[in-house]
Amino acid sequence: VQLQASGGGYVQAGDSLRLSCVVSENTFNYYAMAWFRQAPGKERELVAAISRSALATRYGKSLEERFTITRDNSKNSVYLQMNSLKPEDTAVYYCAAQSRGWAVAPATTAEEYAYWGQGTQVTVSS
């Protein structure tokens, strides 16, 4: 399974970005999907996750106020809409996939995800 993330960039505080992740296989809807991020010197942390059915989502601490995860099974894609970006959002953002039951809530720890994309850099200046 190959994941290709895109959409990162250099923005000003308060701006928005939309990240995209395309999964190579037509079995995309077999996977719960997630976005994680890792800043220099810090551990990888959950940003958001979404179940196969898209009925269940999970967010990292306080991120639900500004970030929204969605998926389009017809396009084998998962998205992360990020609004009101802050300098502390600066990190490499990774998409990840995990085989999961249709109605099961997505996992929230990196160790539970078997497949990872290459990451896309998001830099927010103050």
pLDDT of residue 102: 86
Structure tokens at 43: 């551990």
Instruction: State the pairing for strand pair 9-12/120-125.
Output: parallel
* pLDDT tens track for 88-126: 999 999 999 999 888 789 999 999 999 999 999 999 999
Instruction: Check if the beta carbon of residue 107 is closer than 8 Å to that of residue 32.
Output: yes
Binned at pLDDT 50, 70 and 90, residue 27 comes out as confident
Question: How many residues in total does the chain contain?
Answer: 126
Binned at pLDDT 50, 70 and 90, residue 49 comes out as very high
Report the largest interatomic distance among the alpha carbons of the chain, rounded to a whole angstrom.
41
Instruction: Check if the beta carbon of residue 49 is closer than 8 Å to that of residue 69.
Output: yes
